[in-house]
Amino acid sequence: MRIILFGPPGVGKGTQAKILSTKLHIPHISTGDLLRDAVNSGTELGKKAKAIMDAGQLISDYIMIGIIRDVLQTPKCSNGFILDGFPRTVPQAEALSLLMLELKLRFDAVIIMEIDHEEVVKRLSSRLSCKGCGTIYNLLLDSLKSSSSCQKCGGELILRDDDKPETIRKRLDVYVRSTSPVKEYYYRAGVLKTISAEGSIDDVTDSIVLLLNSKHV
């Protein structure tokens, strides 16, 4: 199955993509994770990307399209994939359509997860991730203090630089300006499915699975 999960930062795309990846046995391709890996390994891309990401802005379409073009042609993606965080602009969506055409593939579902933007600020500013293994915790849901360490590997729990409230608001502005037109792009193509991401993690997973199992996807 080939799926695009799309929606504002903090809507839970990453969480749902990981769950679906396990359920459907297809890789979760998160452009945010790929960029953070590049930052952590200190590559040229990572050095360029860090300041842009910390400011809540978008990396250039040219770079992002190149990354996706390479990843989608790796063997691990041959049986399908879940895209999380790409496309984020109309030129990225157009380039992806061309690439899919070139690879003779089609998407089974383009799903937009919707949520109230104030809920996003609340969710993201209470999200901590482990510096060691990347496990994500939420101060509102998990019984943790901001000084706790990772329950899996004992690593340090940190607030991502781009999850600080002022940066979250900037990321939401960027989403409305650059990414909302992507919604319009897929809506016009007649392939967009909308689900509410306001419920619990399990509720949202159930909605997505229901949608994927429906004949109309």
Residues with active-site annotation? 13, 88, 127, 160, 171
Burial annotation 27-43 (CB, 10 A radius, 16+ → b, else e):
bbbbbbebbbebbeeee
Among residues 19, 35, 110, 113, the one that binds ligand AMP under rule CB under 6 A: 35
Query: Which has the closest alpha carbon to 122: 6, 10, 4?
Result: 10
On whether the CB atoms of residues 50 and 32 are closer than 8 A, the answer is: no
Burial class (CB in 10 A: 0-12, 13-18, 19+), 124: buried
In the sheet that holds 136-138, the strands lie side by side as 136-138, 127-130, 157-158
Residue 167 C-beta: closest distance to ligand AMP, Å: 9
Stretch that binds ligand AMP, among 57-65, 95-103, 150-158, 190-198 (CB under 6 A): 57-65
**Nearer to ligand AMP among residue 61 and residue 198 (C-beta):** 61
**Nearer to ligand AMP among residue 50 and residue 154 (C-beta):** 50
**Nearer to ligand AMP among residue 51 and residue 210 (C-beta):** 51
Residue 58 near ligand AMP by CB under 6 A? yes
Query: Which has the closest alpha carbon to 82: 36, 123, 22?
Result: 22
Return the residues of window 89-108 that contact ligand AMP according to CB under 6 A.
Answer: 92
The footprint of ligand AMP (CB under 6 A) covers 9, 31-32, 35, 52-53, 56-59, 64, 85-86, 88, 92, 162, 171
